[in-house]
Structure 1
Amino acid sequence: MGQAVNMSKARPASLQDVQIKDDFWSYYIDLVRDVVVPYQWDALNDRIDSAEPSHAIANFKIAAGEAEGSFHGMVFQDSDVAKWLEAVGYLLHTRKDPALEQIADDVIDTIAKAQHADGYLNTYYTLQEPGKKWTNLAECHELYCAGHMIEAGVAYYKGTGKRKLLDVVCKMADDIAVVFGDGPGQIAGYDGHQEIELALVKLYEVTGDSKYLELSRYFIDKRGQKPSFFEAEAEARGWTSHWHKGRIHLDDAYFQAHLPVREQDAAIGHAVRVVYMLTGMADVARETGDQSLIDACRKLWDNIVSKQMYVTGGIGSMAQGEAFSFDYDLPNDTVYSETCAAIGLIFFAHRMLQIEPDSRYADVLERALYNTVIAGMSRDGKHFFYVNPLEVTPEVCDGRNKNYNHIKPVRQEWFGCACCPPNIARLLASLGEYTYAVKGSTIYSHLYIGGEANLQVEGANVQLTQKSSMPWSGNVIYELKLDAPSKLALALRLPDWSASAKITVNGKPFAFEDKIEGGYAIVERTWSSGDVVELVLEMPVMRVRSNPLVKYNAGKVALQHGPLVYCVEEADNGAGLSSLMLPADSELRVSFDKQLAGGLQVISANALRLEYKQWGTQLYRSDASAYLAPAEAKFIPYYAWANRGKGEMAVWVKERV
């Protein structure tokens, strides 16, 4: 246990206090409300003939005695319903929808009927293996599913004021507190897939019951202690595996259980589990002031973002184990970069911002959000990426090379393991929570997203209206309304993609250069209602290069404009993107294409294409004549790729110096 320290935390804006009205993001939030959530409801009820069956709702109905049948799906199928309900809770927080609320209430009634008298809730073990609950925590996600249901219960209570699901999850968490611990007859262990840790802190925050915070801390402190819990658990059940016949193979590093969490110095193993674990660690550190946990979070944050993160904000470089591999190992064509992992990184960044408002966390949050997360969903809201590659050649993905089976050149309608689509929905439905935070007398503006916020700042009610031109230009305007003049500070993030900034207050320049704290420009004064602040961020097109230790990108360059990373697609540049070369002195021209993906900025440049004369049919030649032919290269935002059919794509292109 680390030594507690006094720590004033930054309080994020609540959903009821933020209304997003933004030219870019309102489309996605409306899409979640109008298309994604209804589509996913149909998917959960197996109403989409061309998509893989879910059976998730049916599982709950069978467990509740409302239908007959048997369990179908992954052992963690319950979590898809929980994440859907969580997204619904967020949507109802910002806008009433009686029809959607009634659907959710009916589902909650079914869930309550499926719960055991002691509080246990899991349809797989209820229906499939009723005598084996809590016997395979390494593989079977019981606490993971419980965590997602807890998050749903908290979100739905906040969104509607209705306690039924909250009471269900409190009863479930109370049972977990009885089952787990170091006392006689208790299980001194933890789940193979972290999630319960962060969920329990949310439950603590909404109920005020410290038992839930202590239980979260227990799971965090217990992980990685020796002897190995997972080995002892496997021994007790005869080393059987849920996933295959024969003896289970255990690798504690895959579960981040190879060392106590405070001793881990590199992200290793399943990427989603890592960032969910770190989110829970940051939550507990924030609430308890545990400095050793804060230090552990910082250490693993630094390893991820400086050595194991893609330029798109994606994490998890290998398909085997959906995992981190090792420092600077960032292949583009066999990458995993699961959508859920980027969302988990956003969760972690958001928690670190509450501990210490520092722009480095918000920069990464923004990078993952604008690139990997929204790339994971098509513009129609009905097709999704599980894996987010940075280089694609369709015939390779569709061929016999098993190393590329996980890479899809087009988005899929649904998945047998459908964790990513509802994860996108719940994040975008709750986006308002990520925009602002208040610490003392300072309002932190983390994301430049237009809308209105009503914030309490040391007793003063501040209505903040933001107008943003992001991501296409760096102009942001704030208007403040207050009941009476108040002295407070507005902290404006200076993003890592902007070389310079200008700030005016009521049209007059504001000198902030000596008032920068943690990457935020601090605009402090006595404010009156009607005051206007304008922030102008320089937003050049940047040529981004990798650390030389990233061998896959040697001699290559990527383009970034503001928060957006760009890519080349076959639809614009023809096949054979690997032969495209961008001269180092080529002018990068920005223009707006109203027709493409709802309208977006594209980057054009004079380029070269490497070609060979008279190659013939030989595999290798020593007498081939190479030459560089003039070409026009067109780059589009990475998030918009694969909206024009199947074709090649690349983020990194060769650079001719």
Structure 2
Amino acid sequence: MIKVCFLLLTCASLTATAQKQDYPIQPVAFTKVKLADRFWTSRIETNRTVTIPASFERCKATGRVKNFEMAAARSGKFCTTYPFDDTDIYKTIEGASYSLAVHPDKKLECYLDSLITIVGKAQEPDGYLYTARTIDPLHAGPWIGKERWEKEQENSHELYNAGHMYEGAAAHFMATGKRNFLNIALRNADLLVQTFGPGKRHVAPGHEIVEMGLVRLYRITGKKEYLELAKFFIDERGKKEYNKKSKNVWENGTYYQDDKPVILQDEAEGHAVRAMYLYSGMADVAALTGDKQYLAAIDKIWDNMVGKKMYVQGSIGAVGDGERFGGNYELPNSTAYNETCAAIGSVFWNQRMFLLHGDSKYIDVMEKTLYNGLVSGVGLDGKSFFYTNAMQIQDNFTHTDIERERSGWFVCSCCPTNVARLIPSVPGYIYAQNGKDVYVNLFISGTGNMLVNNKALSITQQNNYPWNGGLNFIINPASATDMNLKLRIPGWAQNQAIPSDLYSYQQPSNQKVEIRVNGTLVNYSTEHGYAVLSRKWKKGDKVEMTLPMNVQRVVASEKLPDDAGKIALQRGPLMYCAEWKDNGGKAANIIIPKTTDFEPTYQPELLNGLTVLKGEVKAVNIDADGQNVSTETKTMAAIPYYAWANRGKGEMMVWFPQQVKYVDLGAAVLVEPVKK
């Protein structure tokens, strides 16, 4: 019988020496939330039945499993490309464990046991586990170095592999109660404790995540050395000698978030995925140790990212060279990189920031990322993926870093396996709690169960979100209970496209968010973006909240030249795009006049069901001879950004000019907007 006791972030420790200090707000475990929501339940089921099995099959077909078998035999030749390929197995085990926790499957459980046995045999006697070296230590490859950890601060990924192993092992243990994978992880973690620390070996991990993983093991075991080592690794950043004057991100250390100590950093910098994992680890350690310097640093970094380095659909990591953040306001559309893994890391970090501060702005960013720049990374079939998430695709576009169509997998397959572990954990992001304060963060139909004042409480959501703004909540305490119900009022429903001035609505709406309790309209106070409803709740109490679902024109800060004079379309939490399939084979020739009104229409047969925006626009056309340019009036159809590229390859646009300024003949036809 599978034990469904896993808590996404803050499980109770199993020892008497467990931590007492922690996040002031606690998430309600995903195992305590049962969904009845079409948008997410279909994705979670597809992840269970398609993504996870396909991931395991591809791990086998590509040689990732064979690497562990050869490491166990201590012979052979590492048969995949990257030394971090081990993590694809760890991440898929993690996703499969989340799935097992709520959907028991004996066949899958047995397969995991067989795979874990293979992993365990590859582990060296002292706990070291890294197939790229163990197979043939004398010919380990240029990324790795001749000795253990020699190139860890660069690209060996030895500690990165360990971090993902810890995350997977913790998930498997909490889902099944079995220690087979956990014991492998603990032996490895004990080796790290023996190897690294004050008076021992010093290193700043080249690709962060071991910090998050060590915290996860600390939560399970209460072994303070794991938490201390996580903090040690974070504090080692900024101690290596780099060429501080160089603008090269590798030479000056910014690529690795290693140019200065973390408490002195104030910008989101470097490789975007590494950065998200570092900031998440800092949040974990700050929560568990009370480190105020960490808190001050990540607060500044978050403000910088959301205020100067985030795309309108929540994606981050603009620059393909290094998969990294660019400079402030460096957000080009034609070359936008936007790695899916970076979006996943942003979800991890933003939830942690909410748990620290209790402010809805972090959930606003998390929601925008979840519904747009993250789920765009996996096709509706569950087995095709984007590594990058483009902002525009044009017929004459030749940039090689940006994908025009989805792939089954990649040589570097970090994104597909990261998706496999994120999707089944989504129910754990809906509710949170601090004493008698109960937070409702995401609007997803289903029932969440928790304890308030030591009394059982269930909250049942009934909605058709994100397509409709009518939200119903049935409150069912075991007996009458004093409680502060905190309903997030999304920033997008309060004329805030994003919690900064980077993007805004062209025409603010004057619609107010209405809340009724048992049919009666109530005046409510707001606190940090939440409507606070304080009362003695009784069984069957009903709360209704109505969010305005206007189609909004989003405009960008004047500091983003690529977006000058252009608009993007948003409805509710969803950003929209125009795709070739719905617009006569083109999307890059569309002009949206200021007079255009868009009509939302739900189309259940299209792309698994979604709301389409239709409106009368202008389109620029060139005749067959290429001699004449004309415009025509046509009906434009826009689909949610997440759904693009599920019907073949063609043009896609997110930002649209409102009028023509000039035609650039050197680029065939390039519509430029008037600067305002």
TM-score above 0.5: yes
Partner of 2:223: 209
Partner of 1:266: 267
Secondary structure (helix, strand or coil) at the match of 2:332 reads coil
Matches within 5 A, 1:112-511: 112-129=120-137, 132-137=147-152, 138-183=154-199, 186-227=200-241, 250-394=251-395, 396-397=397-398, 404-499=399-494, 500-511=512-523
**Deviates further, 14-23 or 435-444:** 14-23
Matches within 5 A, 1:492-531: 492-499=487-494, 500-512=512-524, 515-531=525-541
Gaps of 5+ in 2: 1-19, 139-145, 495-511, 660-673
The answer to whether residue 606 in structure 2 is matched with residue 596 in structure 1 is: yes
TM superposition shift of 1:405: 1.3
Secondary structure (helix, strand or coil) at the match of 1:497 reads helix
In the aligned structure 2, how far is the partner of 1:285 from the partner of 1:473? 38
8 Å CA contact retained: 1:501, 1:535 = yes
Measured against aligned partners, the alpha-carbon deviations of 1:193-222 in whole angstroms (never above 9, x if no partner) come to 111111111111121111111111111111
In the aligned structure 2, how far is the partner of 1:417 from the partner of 1:393? 26
8 Å CA contact retained: 2:475, 2:539 = yes
Partner of 1:649: 652
Partner of 1:20: 35
Measured against aligned partners, the alpha-carbon deviations of 1:118-149 in whole angstroms (never above 9, x if no partner) come to 11111111114365221111111110110000
Partner of 2:92: 84
Matches within 5 A, 1:542-621: 542-611=552-621, 616=626
TM superposition shift of 1:451: 1.2
Partner of 1:637: 640
The answer to whether residue 105 in structure 2 is matched with residue 102 in structure 1 is: no
Secondary structure (helix, strand or coil) at the match of 1:63 reads helix
TM superposition shift of 1:594: 2.1
8 Å CA contact retained: 1:267, 1:304 = yes
In the aligned structure 1, how far is the partner of 2:342 from the partner of 2:455? 38
TM superposition shift of 1:6: 8.4
**Deviates further, 65-74 or 17-26:** 65-74
8 Å CA contact retained: 1:393, 1:409 = no
Distance 1:67 1:460, change over 3 A: farther
Distance 1:655 1:308, change over 3 A: same
8 Å CA contact retained: 1:197, 1:219 = yes
Aligned length: 612
Among candidates 9, 12, 32, match of residue 47 of structure 2:
32
8 Å CA contact retained: 1:71, 1:128 = no
Secondary structure (helix, strand or coil) at the match of 1:545 reads strand
TM superposition shift of 1:73: 2.6
Measured against aligned partners, the alpha-carbon deviations of 1:341-384 in whole angstroms (never above 9, x if no partner) come to 00000000011111011111001100111011111111111110
TM superposition shift of 1:23: 1.7
Measured against aligned partners, the alpha-carbon deviations of 1:221-254 in whole angstroms (never above 9, x if no partner) come to 11112545x99xxxxxxxxxxxxxxxx9644111
In the aligned structure 2, how far is the partner of 1:16 from the partner of 1:369? 19
Measured against aligned partners, the alpha-carbon deviations of 1:384-427 in whole angstroms (never above 9, x if no partner) come to 00000010125534xxxxxx212121100011000000111111
Distance 1:205 1:614, change over 3 A: closer
Secondary structure (helix, strand or coil) at the match of 1:269 reads coil
The amino acid of 1:597's aligned partner reads: L
In the aligned structure 2, how far is the partner of 1:310 from the partner of 1:208? 39
In the aligned structure 2, how far is the partner of 1:285 from the partner of 1:70? 39
In the aligned structure 2, how far is the partner of 1:644 from the partner of 1:638? 13
Identity %: 38
Measured against aligned partners, the alpha-carbon deviations of 1:140-161 in whole angstroms (never above 9, x if no partner) come to 1110110000000110011111
8 Å CA contact retained: 2:74, 2:136 = no
In the aligned structure 2, how far is the partner of 1:394 from the partner of 1:415? 24
Measured against aligned partners, the alpha-carbon deviations of 1:497-549 in whole angstroms (never above 9, x if no partner) come to 1143111111112211xx21110111111111111111111111110011111
Secondary structure (helix, strand or coil) at the match of 1:324 reads coil
TM superposition shift of 1:97: 0.7
Among candidates 26, 49, 53, match of residue 11 of structure 1:
26
Partner of 2:67: 59
TM superposition shift of 1:628: 3.6
Measured against aligned partners, the alpha-carbon deviations of 1:261-309 in whole angstroms (never above 9, x if no partner) come to 1111111111111111100011111111111111111100111111100
